[in-house]
Each structure stands twice: as C-alpha cells, then as structure tokens.
C-alpha cells in the first residue's frame, strides 16, 4: 500500500449524504394529515398529482404556499352545540410552547399562507387557529 507522503491528496474519509427530493417529498407526505377514508391507491394518485403539479402549490423550495389567482368562497357552518375545541377557553401556554408556535406562525407568514391583520382593519371573517402536536412538532390547523 505504501504511504501518502509523496501524494498531495487527503486520506480523510468523509460521509457522503445524498438528498433525494422525492424522498423529502415522501416524508412530508407521510407527515400530512390525509383522510383515513382514502385507499392506498388514492393516496399514491394524490402524491403523483401533487408531485407533477408542485409549482402552483409551492414557493421556492417550500412545499406549501398560497395559491395565487384563484379565489374561493368558503362557507362555515358551525351550529350549536359547538365542537369541543371551539368551546374551550384560551389558556396560557408555556414559554417553550409559545416560542415554537411563534416560530411556526412566522414560517407560514413568510410563505404567505396567512396574512397579518391589523387591529384597525375590517375583515369579513377570521378563523380560529387550532394548535396540535405531531411527532414533537407544532402544527397550526
């Protein structure tokens, strides 16, 4: 084998990691909340459609974004008795939880999924934000 003293290359071995975009998309797809009514074939069909048409649903490298150029009318039907989550009074969150929620809110603000409304701005509707935890990560629903 010999020595490396006369050669100018390093014998250090570095770990090579391959980042497959499809694998990243599959991981994000697994974390998504899909209806349990969908069959595996339907889920794969949805994944194929989202992969093929990913540009309208993404901003830069982000997998999610506001869809521009398409307005929808959203009708909310919430009648008494109200769902349990809408009846709960607000409660203080821990500092760690608040930091995680703030971080998540800032991310989706930056992606233009939600917009910040000032106290003097009139809006037709605001929706409650439900915060859930999945795999140790904060989710705003």
pLDDT, tens only, 16-73 = 666 676 676 667 666 666 677 888 888 788 878 877 877 766 656 655 555 566 666 7
Residue 114 burial (CB count, 10 A): 13
Give the pLDDT of residue 21: 67
Note whether 44 and 53 are within 8 A (CB). Answer: no
Cα(50)–Cα(57) distance, rounded to whole angstroms? Answer: 8
Residue ranges per structural domain of the chain: 54-140
Give the pTM. 0.39
Cα(27)–Cα(73) distance, rounded to whole angstroms? Answer: 31
- Write the CB contacts of 37 (distance below 8 Å, at least 6 apart in sequence): none
Catalogue the E-assigned strands of the chain: 131-134, 137-140
């Amino acid at each position: 084998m010999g020595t490396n003293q006369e050669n100018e290359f390093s014998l250090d071995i570095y770990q090579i990691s391959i980042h497959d975009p499809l694998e990243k998309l599959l991981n994000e797809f697994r974390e998504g909340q899909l209806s349990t009514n969908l069959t595996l074939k339907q889920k794969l069909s949805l994944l194929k459609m989202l992969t093929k048409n990913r540009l309208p649903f993404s901003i830069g490298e982000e997998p999610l974004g506001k869809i521009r150029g398409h307005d929808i009318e959203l009708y909310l039907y919430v009648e008494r008795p109200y769902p349990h989550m809408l009846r709960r009074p607000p409660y203080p969150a821990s500092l760690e939880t608040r930091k995680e929620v703030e971080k998540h809110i800032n991310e989706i603000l930056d992606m233009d999924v939600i917009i910040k409304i000032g106290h003097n701005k009139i809006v037709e509707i605001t929706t409650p934000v439900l915060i859930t935890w999945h795999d140790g990560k904060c989710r705003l629903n």
